[in-house]
Amino acid sequence: MEALKQLKLGSTTAALINLNRVEVLKQHCFISLQAQISNELKQSNGSKQKLKSAFSDCDLLPNEILWRPKEAFSDGISSVSRSWYQIIQDHCNEQINKNDLAQAATLYPHNTPKTSEALYYRRIFEKYYAHKSSWIPYFWMPKWSGDTTDPSARTLKHYKQ
C-alpha cells in the first residue's frame, strides 16, 4: 500500500511541476524496497550518507563522483572554473547593453528585468507572447536568497565549492 501511495504522489508531483526523475524510481520493485527501509536509515544528514557509504567499497563509482557535494541543477553539466550560469550571463551581456537595461523599466513596467539575462529572456517571451506579461505574476527567487537578483545556486552564500 505504501508503495502505491508513493507512486501516486510521484505521478501527481510530476504532473504539476517539471521535475527530472531517474526512471528507476518509477519501478514498483524499487519503490517497494524503499518503503521497507526504516525512517532512521533514510534520514541521516540530508546528503544520502548511508546510500553513498553502501557504494563506497564497490568500485562502481569513483570516489570523486560518489562523494562530491550536491550541485545545483545546471552546475552538474559545467566546469568548476566556468559554470553554466556564467556562460549564459556572458552570452546575455554580449546581447544586452547597459542602455537596454536602463530602458527596461520603461519598456517592461510589470516585472521589470533587473539583469541582462532576465532582459534577454523577457525579449524572447515578448517575441512569442507580446503584451502578455501579466501571465508572469512575479519572478521566482529562493526565499533564503536575500537581496541577490540571480537565482543560480553558485551566487548564494550557502553554496560550497
Residue 113 near residue 139, CB atoms below 8 Å = no
Number of structural domains in the chain: 2
**Per the domain annotation, does 82 fall within a domain?**
yes
Residues 26 and 91 in one domain: no
Look up the pTM and report it.
0.56
**Per the domain annotation, does 51 fall within a domain?**
no
pLDDT at 15: 54
pLDDT grade for 120, boundaries at 50, 70 and 90: very high
pLDDT over 80 (residue 101): yes
**Per the domain annotation, does 68 fall within a domain?**
no
- Provide the residue range defining the domain that includes 25: 1-36
- Taking the C-alpha atoms of residue 34 and residue 54, their distance in angstroms, rounded to an integer, is 15
- Average pLDDT over all residues of the chain: 78
- Taking the C-alpha atoms of residue 135 and residue 112, their distance in angstroms, rounded to an integer, is 14
**Per the domain annotation, does 134 fall within a domain?**
yes
Look up cell 524510481; give the residue.
25
CA dihedral sign of residues 107, 109, 111, 112: positive
Could you tell me how many helices (H) and strands (E) the chain has, helices first? Answer: 9, 0
pLDDT grade for 113, boundaries at 50, 70 and 90: very high
pLDDT at 130: 94
**Per the domain annotation, does 161 fall within a domain?**
no
pLDDT over 70 (residue 60): yes
Tell me the mean pLDDT in the region 71-76: 67
Q: Phi and psi at residue 71, in whole multiples of 5°?
A: -105, 155
pLDDT grade for 45, boundaries at 50, 70 and 90: low
Residues 79 and 149 in one domain: yes
**Per the domain annotation, does 120 fall within a domain?**
yes
- Taking the C-alpha atoms of residue 104 and residue 37, their distance in angstroms, rounded to an integer, is 53
